Structure 1
């Protein structure tokens, strides 16, 4: 395992997460301030996350075909910095939405290529640990971004000032990425594009689709607290803090036993129950449970996909998860607007059961 490279890429993600999680900590409240409904917030973050994943159907195979990986990684991080800079000047809900979509596309561009580099650095016997270490450093940056946003809102800074403050760590991320590239000596094996058609990848991707559909996006939990913007950001911060140990734990569990792929659907049902309850303590419990599901997507799902191939396999699996998030985010936002949270819970629970059944079949086949 090339620990030095994993740590450098983890530091890049730490700084980049400081940038975009600081932005995401205030973006739902900013959209509400500009007049957005719950359905629109759910649509924007659902579509944004879906774009960030679905585009990997294309960016993953392209990275494998080119075999370079580093160029896509650099471009992705640079576009992300530009998107957040644009939010400083955005003045209506559609401008904000478009820039959120661009930021999510930047993630789609860089992530399959970067994850192929991490997989190569981890090697066959330590992929789970490699992704776990990377994800935990990533989440430290998310904590820094969410904490910065929470404190700035508490002390009456505006969302646009939060966006501006977030640019400094984003620029630092680009500098550290260059150091990682210049000193790594790692070039992942060029794989071609056939991996995306592997039946095991498609079956696992189907399970991820239903898992994404079962997941209540945290922006909708934050929407319930949007009347007190700093409290909504504190909810987001809670999720970011929880994801650090959860990423390390799930990476360790996966390397020991591949049945760790069964974890997430169970917790997505609990998340839906917390969301339907709506009580303040339940929402904060839900933030922690949300982190179980998202750390699974960032660690276990990636390690499972990397077993089957390169950036193409990672792209397919993540894209299916994102498609589920898009459908769920829009649907659950609409159900929240019309006061039908019981239907949201039932839909999420049924989707989670389907995902669990598909994953169970994979572990026994």
Structure 2
């Protein structure tokens, strides 16, 4: 079995899945505003969706490790998520739209720990950072393509509902690729080299600090729907241009994931710290600038996405024994999700009161995260 091919196939699955989910993500904020949702509501729905998407990974990660049924968890999770995307278009009120947003995130919670564990078996053979970086780069290509398609649909006058419905096509392609990957790699754990079958099964103190640092990044990282809401509310750009902002972020994120993945294999946690430092001022640019500020803010936001979705996970794969990775990935992502939800709720409230306070909160969270990362950079996560 070829480990590089497994990583590439998992990346292709994420690419097509993200065409669907990111296409929906790019327009759900403005779509909810049509039905009377406020800035707080949009931010709360996005944040609570992320809480479900990350928080429930504790359960799915534990169960996937306990049963060793990684493929069934991954396939079922993708199915739940990808069916939910076109159903967002049938909503006749913002609460009904929110239900499908939440369902899509639950599907992601079911699949993510199992998918990350499967991916780790291949990535450990080609360089953990490089493997996760390649996977995330392909993932973000999908995140780029989805909003571009949606923007084209809106420019063609198809409307929001039709745009959601058409996203079912890439969703089906992702499911077919998933079935093919399972058929070709029914036992991916056999790819794990014997010398790499080591690592701790519990979370050490330095690793806990790392998890908290990553969670602080999530707390201060605004969801795109709130940025899109801000742009639409203040008429900074046309509706059809808003999804293109998300595409721009995904281009930056894909390049960041690929480059920082290789950087991580050389300098470790310092690469994560550099990425966090670069993205610190995204909120200042996106919420306090005009059109140029929004574009610069989105570029910095894209750097943050690229780092968060690639090398932050690689640290877990490097330090945890393969038999416990699903559980630890679950804890890692659950902590991130809880902090993200709290941060989204706070930023939604602050947005309705004063955008300046939102910016202060975001920057403070990033500075705290950067400081915590420097505390553990260069240390082994295997030490107590």
TM surpasses 0.5: yes
Tell me, yes or no, if the aligned pair for 1:50 and 1:322 is still in contact at 8 Å.
yes
2:81: which partner in 1?
Answer: 80
Give the distance between the partners of 1:240 and 1:125, measured in 2 at CA. 24
Aligned-residue offset at 1:122:
1.6
> Shift in Å at residue 115 of structure 1?
0.8
Q: Name the SS of the counterpart of 2:231 in structure 1.
A: coil
Query: In the aligned structure 1, how far is the partner of 2:22 from the partner of 2:265?
Result: 28
- Aligned ranges 1:208-227 → 2 under 5 Å: 208-226=214-232, 227=235
Separation in 2, partners of 1:298, 1:182? 26
The partner residue of 1:317 within 327, 332, 336 is: 332
Structure 1 unaligned segments of length 5 or more: list them.
none
Specify the alignment match of 1:299 in structure 2: 310
1:240 aligns with 2:250: yes
Cα distance in 2, alignment partners of residues 155 and 179 from structure 1: 34
CA contact (8 A) 2:58 2:330 kept: yes
Q: Alpha-carbon deviation of 1:364?
A: 4.6
- Indicate if the aligned counterparts of 1:54 and 1:322 stay in contact, CA closer than 8 A: yes
Deviation string 1:18-69 (CA, Å, 9 cap, x unpaired) is 1111111111110011110011111111111222111112211221111121
The 3-state SS of whatever aligns with 2:189 is coil
Asked whether the equivalents of residues 87 and 165 of structure 2 are also in contact (C-alpha less than 8 Å), the reply is no
* 1:105 positional shift: 1.1
Distance 1:311 1:125 in 2: 20
Q: Which runs of 5+ in 2 are unaligned?
A: 380-384
Rounded Cα–Cα distance in structure 2 between residues aligned with 1:12 and 1:364 = 34
Question: Following TM superposition, by how much is the alpha carbon of 1:88 offset from its aligned partner in structure 2, in angstroms?
Answer: 2.9
Contact in 1 for aligned 2:147/2:244 (Cα 8 Å): yes
Cα distance in 2 for residues equivalent to 1:122 and 1:171: 26
Instruction: Measure, in 2, the Cα distance between the counterparts of 1:212 and 1:331.
Output: 12
Is 1:156 the counterpart of 2:166 in the alignment?
no
Corresponding residue number in structure 2 for 1:202: 208
**Structure 1 position 184, deviation (Å):** 1.8
Map Cα deviations across residues 192-250 of structure 1 (whole Å, 9 max, x no partner): xx846443432211111211112122222211222532122121121122212111011
Match of 1:65 in 2: 66
Tell me the SS of whatever aligns to 2:90. Answer: coil
Contact map agreement 2:28 2:225 (CA 8 A) in 1: no
Q: What is the distance in 2 between the residues matched to 1:166 and 1:177?
A: 17
Aligned to 2:259: 249
| Aligned counterpart for 2:366 among listed residues 341, 352, 360 | 352
TM-score normalized by structure 2? 0.90
The answer (yes or no) to whether the contact 2:26–2:224 under 8 Å persists in 1 is: no
Change (3 A) 1:102 1:281: same
